[in-house]
């Protein structure tokens, strides 16, 4: 496994009013980011989500209807891991890394 792979965070943004990334959906929102290009604060924020130091926000109360959620995948010491994070908990640099595409 290359050093680059370890630092890559693959991102898929799902849900929303239009249903990005649903089983039959024709629209997807994907990207990736190298952790090393993020600010120290953002790096720490992302890494904390994966190692369980920062709890992922439970479903909001009241419901945030039609909000996006982000599937973040990274290679950790325990292998590849994916966490699902509500949009408000995702740093701007991660949100800006996705591209909306029509398939």
Partner 1 sequence: MNCTCFIVPKSVLERFANDKSLTTEVRRAAFESSLLSDLLRGSRTQHAAFISASQTIAAHLEDLAAEPESVVFDCKHTQTLPGRSVSNPGTSADPSSARACTQALRVAEFYQTIFKRNSVDNAGGTLVSSIHFGRKYDNAMWNGTQMVYGDGDNKIFTDFTGGNDVIGHELTHGVTQHTLQLGYTDDAGGLNESLSDCFGSMFRQWETKQTSQTGDWLIGSDIIGPTVKEKGVTCLRNMANPADPHALAPQPANYSQITPGMDPHFTSGPPNLAFCSACKAVPGNSWDTIGQVWYHVMMTAGAHPTMSMKDFAGRTRQAAIQLFGAEPEVASSIDKAWKAIGL
Sheet with 79-86, side-by-side order of all strands: 79-86, 68-76, 8-15, 27-34, 99-102
Name the minimum Å distance from CB 4 to partner 1. Answer: 25
Interface residue with partner 1, options 6, 37, 51, 67 (CB under 8 A): 67
Bridge-based pairing of strands 8-15 and 27-34 is antiparallel
DSSP state of 58: P
x/- letters, 32..61, toward partner 1 (CB under 8 A): ---------x--xx--x----xx----xxx
Q: Does 31 bind partner 1 (CB under 8 A)?
A: no
């Amino acid at each position: 496994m290359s050093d680059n792979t370890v630092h890559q965070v693959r991102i898929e943004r799902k849900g929303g009013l239009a249903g990005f990334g649903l089983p039959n959906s024709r629209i997807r929102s994907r990207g990736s980011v190298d952790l090393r290009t993020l600010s120290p604060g953002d790096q720490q924020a992302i890494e904390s989500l994966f190692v369980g130091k920062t709890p992922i926000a439970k479903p909001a109360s009241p419901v945030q209807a039609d909000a996006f959620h982000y599937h973040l995948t990274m290679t950790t010491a325990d292998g590849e891991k994916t966490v699902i994070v509500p949009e408000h908990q995702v740093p701007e640099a991660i949100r800006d890394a996705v591209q909306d595409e029509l398939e």
